[in-house]
A and B are shown apart, each in its own frame.
Chain A
Amino acid sequence: MGGITALEDVKVKLHKAIVEGDIEGAVESAKALVDADVDVLQIVSEVLAPAMKVVGEMYERGEYFIADLIASAEAFRQAFEDVLKPKLTSSRSGKGVVAVFGTVRGDIHELGKNIAKALFKAEGFEVIDLGVDVPPEKFAEAVEAYGAKVVGASALMTTTMVEQKKVVEELRRRGLRDKVVVVVGGAPVTEEWVKEVGADVCGDDAFKALKKVKELLGVV
């Protein structure tokens, strides 16, 4: 009992460290969890990703500045890249599969996209990162150029979500739609939205999305 409570405390501490941009604290707590054999994917999905979501919301509300975002992103990066990723024992079932990720046109929020990118890479996917403010044609061109099987279009703002629909339309226009699994990601995305835009996977949670993508590709 005591052990579990202690672990929960460390998770809370890690969450707090990420939100506050406390790099040392984040690394320390992440190490403690890894040392206690907590599953890495569980740490990311239960702590890191929700923490970054909080950070994004704080920025949107005007409570956080760019400097705060960068500190949190760096705390996330160091905890994830330096501590968690080396321990990631995945099936690497995505090996050899190319995924094209980007934040849609008009939107420059890339935290969510980067979390997904890290997860997919850890799973063995070859991720082509198109960056932010990516027009629909660029997604389609990258699919053609790299022979991608997965497209991840991220949007944080309700005002830019409509661009996700345009990405799907562009893929369809070029006859690529049925050759790829389309993930529409971002905090405002819902299952209804996925259906409406004609995508396949709801990426409001990167882990769920990864699981679903693997199922659809048949590489579980």
Chain B
Amino acid sequence: MPKPTLTILSRSEASEIHDKAVKLLSGVGVRFEDPEVARILLEAGSIEKGGRVLIPEELISEALKNVPKRLDLYDRDGRKVATLGEGALLFNPGSAAIKILDYGSKEPRNPTMEDLKNLVLLVENLDHIDAQSTALVPSDVPIEVKDAVRLYPILKYSRKPIVTGAFTVENLHIMLEMLKAVREDAWKRPFAIFDACPSPPLSWSRVTSRNVVDLAKAGVPSEIVSMPGLGGTAPATVAGAVVQHHAEVLSGVVLAQLVSKGAPVIYGGSPTLMHPRYGTVAIVAPESMLISIAYRDLAKYLDLPTHTYMGLSDAKLVDYQAGAEGAYSSLTAALSGFDVISGPGMLEFESVQSFEKLVLDNEVCGLVKRFARGFNLSVEELAIDVIEDVVLRKGGNFLLHPHTRRYVRKEVHIPNVWDATPRSRWGGRNAYEEAHEAVLKILKEGRRSELSDDVLKELNAVYERLWRKAGSTPIYV
């Protein structure tokens, strides 16, 4: 089956980079801010040197034997959505934006819980955005609950799987409780993935390393999202940043496997280019994307499920740059066969979400998924008999042949907001305006996959506890 694919490293190049990363871990090692986490690695045979943990090769190869190679992901209601590890292409909104850009505005504002709920409803109704993510950080809630409250509207209104993460050690547990309140076997048939980011170069903060430990203990999938900043927190060369990235992810894999053999882990990343002139973190710079494709091949070499940050833009508005960056990075992600792709809706260096952009990105995701699917070479699809029939007997008109009707729906992707109308049927609106109409329509009459009253009661009880612990009254949306 012809299928366009994008790879960048040969097997021997991948093997060489992997060996270099392993040497880096055993020679330079990793710094763990939390001594208790460091102790887990030290007790397993790592060596402490100058405050760093040198991880021996044997620990790494042992961990790679134990880490699951495939991971089934379900939706909230227990239906299987995809098997991660086989290029699932699950697009989800880039998270966690601290601002939202309203339609027509040039100045992003602080998002609220209500915005978050609307975003959830939007994602629930966009066919090519396959998973929810805790994509907005609401400004109208106390700091102690900012991470966990984001799960609430998702669980309440959407059945799509969730990409999320905790900002503190403590709140991870309450987030896990929220998931469990919704479905008792939330771990056996997981529907949420938690991001945990190392701090480049080669170190782990207390919160994120503890998250990896606690997730492994609970058996919940963790997504190790290394984020080398080319030329700032990583070498200015793509190759150097790739080695560092790989070493950081491996250190997370080792930690998770030491805590619990077989703990589910996704090989993720959010590589950036520290802009040489402005110091901004350019995430869809070609150099950043080369790092992603390269580590995708390293993960393939190790046969691990993968994640990346693509399908987003560093532009400030929903403009030409936003469209171009979103499209070319989405296509790259699709052709590279990532399992989880975070990014749609996102602007300005992973800091601003736009509903209109999310709708437009949904179109792009549909297009690139179709493109990446390729085509079949079956006898039916080669259609030699059909061509003969039409040319010799149907006057050259394929529209009349039943084969056309049979395949036009299967083979052809029909965009929704994208304009393909003749001018006579065109409504005179540009794509941005169309997207805004779509946003309004979805928010007004879109699907809401609400929970049953019993389950909602359970969820509300945990949610209430979260707020009370912070000494506040819950905001229900």
Contacts and interface: CB of A to CB of B under 8 A. Distances in A.
A9 B290 CA distance: 46
B51 interface: no
Contacts of A65: 276-277
A84 B415 CA distance: 68
B231 interface: yes
Interface string A58-73: 0100100111000000
A116 to B, nearest CB: 24
Nearest to A64: B277
A62 B231 CA distance: 17
B18 to A, nearest CB: 29
B206 to A, nearest CB: 28
A67 B275 CA distance: 10
Interface string A154-179: 00000000000000000000000000
A157 to B, nearest CB: 14
A172 B226 CA distance: 51
A9 B30 CA distance: 47
Interface string B140-151: 000000000000
A154 B233 CA distance: 30
Interface residues of B, number: 7
Contacts of A66: 274, 276-279
A67 B231 contact: yes
Contacts of B278: 66
A66 B278 CA distance: 7
Determine chain B's interface SS by DSSP, over half rule: loop
A67 B277 CA distance: 9
Contacts of B277: 59, 62, 65-66
A66 to B, nearest CB: 6
Contacts of B236: 67
Contacts, number: 12
A65 B231 CA distance: 11
Nearest to B276: A65
Interface in B227-253: 231, 236
B276 to A, nearest CB: 4
A174 to B, nearest CB: 31
Interface string B40-60: 000000000000000000000
Interface string B117-139: 00000000000000000000000
Contacts of B231: 67
Candidate in A62, A65, A67 with the most chain B CB atoms within 10 angstroms:
A65
A61 to B, nearest CB: 11
A184 to B, nearest CB: 26
Interface in B268-295: 274, 276-279
A67 B279 CA distance: 10
Contacts of A67: 231, 236, 276
Contacts of B279: 66
A82 B277 CA distance: 29
A177 to B, nearest CB: 34
B268 to A, nearest CB: 27
Residue among B231, B277, B278 with the highest chain A CB neighbour number at 10 A: B277
A39 B198 CA distance: 50
A132 B236 CA distance: 27
Looking at B231, B236, B274, B276, the one whose CB has the most chain A CB atoms below 10 A away is B276
Contacts of B276: 65-67
A67 B58 CA distance: 38
Interface string A37-79: 0000000000000000000000100100111000000000000
B53 to A, nearest CB: 30
Nearest to A108: B279
A65 B277 CA distance: 5
A179 to B, nearest CB: 38
B448 to A, nearest CB: 44
A95 B79 CA distance: 76
A76 B465 CA distance: 57
A70 to B, nearest CB: 10
A141 to B, nearest CB: 27
A170 B360 CA distance: 47
Nearest to B274: A66
Contacts of A62: 277
B287 to A, nearest CB: 14
A48 B272 CA distance: 35
A104 to B, nearest CB: 19
A187 B231 CA distance: 29
A65 B278 CA distance: 8
A62 B277 CA distance: 7
A132 to B, nearest CB: 13
Interface in A64-119: 65-67
B236 to A, nearest CB: 8
A86 B236 CA distance: 36
A102 B257 CA distance: 51
Interface string B194-231: 00000000000000000000000000000000000001
A65 B274 CA distance: 11
A105 B6 CA distance: 47
A66 B236 CA distance: 12
Nearest to B278: A66
Interface in B59-103: none
A59 B276 CA distance: 10
A153 B277 CA distance: 24
A67 B276 CA distance: 7
A65 B232 CA distance: 12
A62 B276 CA distance: 10
B232 to A, nearest CB: 8
A220 to B, nearest CB: 41
Nearest to B231: A67
Nearest to B275: A66
Given A62-B277, A65-B277, A66-B274, 9 more contacts: A59-B277, A65-B276, A66-B276, A66-B277, A66-B278, A66-B279, A67-B231, A67-B236, A67-B276
Interface of A: 59, 62, 65-67
12 contacts: A59-B277, A62-B277, A65-B276, A65-B277, A66-B274, A66-B276, A66-B277, A66-B278, A66-B279, A67-B231, A67-B236, A67-B276
Return the 7 tightest CB-CB contacts between A and B, nearest first. Answer: A65-B276, A66-B279, A65-B277, A66-B276, A67-B276, A66-B277, A67-B231
